[in-house]
Chain A
């Protein structure tokens, strides 16, 4: 079945450590997105990519980096520069402006 897979489901990061969140889709969608959700808040856009080898900053890109080397994959790295990384991270993909499909999310906690 087609879908989006995020891993891991739970991730713990030590202070000063970089971590990478995986997002893979087999829906053949061109566009992929990373969002961050804090408790009681909506989704805020971190980065997005409309096509392979190209990506754009969203509203809260500081402290994050991405790559888009393959159509299927859009990993997100949370760097040590992100001072408040504890949140629920959601990856999504779309095709031609129809609805966005989401992965199950990664819950990141700083320990």
Chain B
């Protein structure tokens, strides 16, 4: 079983749609969680951190469910510019911080 799992997609949605991604992790001792965005042939960039209480940044909402060991990302009112790969990142070691990545979920927003 992989340590961090994501549905690779692609998710193909029209502009204005709401889309949600989930990511599951295997280590219950994991302490910090993030969503990154990666554009084609570029480095990943932080989209948002994920807190136990959930957090929202404009059209983006991230949530953490520790009991079921998953995090989610919700994108409302999708824009063409949201087209990218979204990577789930989990600190799995607890002691030493080692960012562990899911394989990413591809989002394509079309007109």
Contact = CB atoms under 8 A, between A and B. Distances in A.
A102 interface: yes
Interface string A73-104: 00000000000000010101010111111111
Nearest to B106: A40
Interface residues of A, number: 26
Contact of A99 (B34, B42, B100, B102): B34
Interface string B1-28: 0001010100000000000000000000
Interface string A17-54: 00000000000000101010000111101001010000
Nearest to A95: B97
Contacts of A102: 43-45
Contacts, number: 53
B87 A43 contact: yes
B11 to A, nearest CB: 15
B104 A42 contact: yes
Contacts of B6: 42
A43 B97 contact: no
9 closest A-B pairs by CB? A42-B103, A102-B43, A43-B101, A97-B97, A42-B101, A99-B46, A100-B99, A105-B43, A104-B43
Given A88-B41, A94-B97, A104-B42, 15 more contacts: A31-B96, A42-B4, A42-B87, A42-B102, A43-B87, A50-B96, A58-B98, A90-B43, A92-B99, A97-B32, A97-B97, A99-B46, A100-B99, A101-B46, A102-B44
Interface of B: 4, 6, 8, 31-32, 34, 41-46, 49, 87, 89, 91, 96-104
